[in-house]
């Protein structure tokens, strides 16, 4: 007979399409923690108040959210409703990018505890402390209302990806395998530098193949994708390609029995243009199943790229696109409209470039500049389109030559801008 020393706790990890990769990795971290084998974990895509009520009837209930800056409105409304209905009968914890940047804001919005920085080690510890009625504030990267000095993510200890599952096989919450975390570049529109401080690490070939083999055996995985800020930097320090290390990964994963297709360098990953060479793409082509290659160009203006600290030129972007076409890939080119400092003329030149890229045989992926908290551009005004630019981008989208949420992002960008203005230093 199993003896329960602790009251049976429930963890409801609220899942959303925007947070599913984080949820997969964090539930995976809980699954391998022997201390938590009695924890009842749910990861619902829809969270009803009734399901929370049922969990509370069974025992102490923890609700977790992984919070991205683009999702705060939805998350805060949900947390407010839960607090209004259940008061302190639930413990609400938050983590993720926005939580790491503005932990005190989450506390004001009703969260009890916030995990700053990478969650794979800390999240299981926090749950364990809560299950034992121990003080979670013993964990350095956990913040609550008593915290005076908020930790900075890039100064906290880093996670070894090889020690953490990429997804939750037990609960069958699967997703792409994160092969690289961190980026040495400092693009001003991106919050990754604040979160990782340029500390690049890779999951080893052995760890990747082990997890993929298990996923094939246990979950019938037939194809796989990978997560990386710059897929072609695999194996190196992040500033230049290491083709041999990249090939050793591709060779190993494409040999896994039962794994029929390997997608690498396509969405949700991206490649920086200056990492693209003919020999690397020819090598990639010989292993991968993807027809597309996601290339981050972002603007048709060298001046705007330079302002954004992008560290590549438009010409390097065009070379990468040409090489991708010559080696049998359809380039999917990321563009950001309305970047700080971009003139109206430059906006229209970027849109013109999209039309030219389509004629060359590429597709485009459109974004509107959003002042992301934690990015160097967080206090810059949002990207704004006018009627004609919206019409031109809409035409590309209708023709299926442009994907991306550029239209929705216009609204999110305005919201972030207003939030950033309100966020005084005390809320960070
Ligand atoms: S946009 Fe990409 S290359 Fe630039 S800092 Fe962010 S992750 Fe790195």
Q: What is the pLDDT of residues 55-68, one digit of tens each?
A: 999 999 999 999 99
pLDDT at 3: 45
Mean pLDDT value across the chain: 95
Q: Which residues does residue 143 pair with via DSSP β-bridges, in sequence order?
A: 114
The model's pTM is 0.93
SS3 318: helix
The DSSP bridge partners found for residue 366 are 335
* pLDDT in the model for residue 424: 56
Rounded to the nearest angstrom, the distance between the alpha carbon of 3 and the centre of ligand 1 is 49
In this prediction, residue 4 carries a pLDDT of: 46
In the predicted structure, residue 262 carries a pLDDT above the cut 60: yes
Look up tokens 């790229």; give the residue: 305
Span 320-342, mean pLDDT?
A: 98
Q: How many CA within 13 A on the CB side of residue 262?
A: 23
Cβ–ligand 1 contact at 190 (below 6 Å):
yes
pLDDT band at 422, cuts 50/70/90? confident
Contact partners, residue 299, CB within 8 Å, separation at least 6? 305, 308, 310, 314, 335, 336, 339, 342, 346, 350
List the residue whose alpha carbon is closest to atom 2 of ligand 1. 229
Could you tell me the domains of the chain?
10-155 (3.40.50.280), 176-426 (3.20.20.70)
Q: Is 339 in the pocket of ligand 1 (CB under 6 A)?
A: no
CA angle, 265 then 194 then 31, to 5°: 65
The verdict on the CB of residue 385 being under 6 Å from ligand 1 is: no
Ligand 1 atom closest to 191 (CA): 6
**Spatial separation of the C-alpha atoms in residues 375 and 373, rounded to whole Å:** 6
The pLDDT tens digits for 288-319 are 999 999 999 999 999 999 999 999 999 999 99
Range ranked top by mean pLDDT from 153-157, 190-194, 358-362: 358-362
In terms of Cα–Cα distance, which of 295, 417, 299 is closest to 349? 299
What value does the mean pLDDT take over residues 402-423?
Answer: 92
Residue 427 pLDDT > 60? no
What is the CA 207 to chain-centroid distance, rounded? 20
Per-residue pLDDT for 5 more than 80? no
> What is the rounded CA–CA span in Å between residue 419 and residue 428?
12
Residue nearest to atom 7 of ligand 1 (CA): 229
């Amino acid at each position: 007979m199993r003896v329960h020393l602790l009251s049976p706790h429930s963890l409801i990890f609220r899942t959303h399409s925007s947070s599913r990769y984080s949820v997969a990795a964090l539930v995976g971290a809980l699954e391998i923690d022997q201390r938590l084998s009695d924890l009842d974990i749910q990861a619902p895509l829809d969270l009803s108040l009734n399901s929370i009520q049922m969990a509370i009837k069974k025992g102490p209930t923890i609700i977790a959210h992984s919070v991205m800056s683009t999702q705060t409105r939805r998350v805060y409304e949900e947390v407010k409703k839960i607090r209004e209905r259940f008061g302190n009968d639930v413990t609400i914890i938050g983590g993720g990018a926005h939580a790491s940047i503005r932990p005190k804001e989450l506390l004001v919005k009703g969260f009890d505890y916030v995990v700053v920085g990478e969650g794979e080690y800390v999240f299981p510890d926090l749950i364990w402390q809560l299950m034992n009625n121990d003080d979670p504030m013993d964990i350095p990267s956990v913040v609550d209302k008593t915290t005076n000095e908020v930790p900075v993510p890039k100064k906290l200890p880093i996670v070894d990806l090889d020690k953490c599952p990429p997804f939750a096989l037990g609960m069958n919450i699967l997703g792409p395998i994160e092969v690289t975390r961190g980026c040495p570049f400092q693009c001003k529109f991106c919050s990754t530098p604040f979160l990782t401080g340029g500390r690049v690490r890779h999951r080893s070939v052995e760890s990747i193949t082990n997890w993929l083999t298990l996923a094939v055996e246990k979950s019938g995985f037939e194809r796989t994708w990978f997560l990386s800020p710059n897929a072609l930097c695999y194996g190196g320090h992040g500033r230049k390609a290491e083709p041999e290390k990249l090939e050793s990964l591709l060779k190993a994963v494409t040999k896994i029995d039962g794994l029929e297709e390997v997608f690498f360098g396509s969405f949700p990953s991206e490649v920086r243009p200056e990492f693209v060479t003919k020999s690397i793409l020819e090598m990639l082509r010989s292993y991968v199943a993807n027809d597309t290659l996601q290339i981050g160009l972002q603007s048709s203006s060298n001046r705007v790229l330079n302002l954004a600290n992008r560290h590549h030129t438009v010409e390097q972007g065009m070379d990468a696109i040409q090489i991708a076409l010559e080696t049998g890939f359809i380039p999917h080119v990321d563009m950001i409209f309305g970047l700080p400092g971009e003139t109206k003329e430059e906006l229209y030149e970027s849109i013109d470039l999209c039309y030219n890229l389509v004629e060359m045989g590429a597709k485009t992926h459109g974004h509107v500049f959003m002042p992301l908290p934690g990015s160097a551009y967080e206090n810059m005004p949002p990207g704004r389109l006018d009627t004609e630019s919206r019409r031109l981008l809409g035409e590309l989208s209708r023709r299926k030559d442009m994907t991306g949420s550029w239209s929705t992002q216009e609204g999110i960008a305005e919201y972030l801008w207003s939030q950033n203005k309100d966020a005084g230093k005390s809320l960070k």
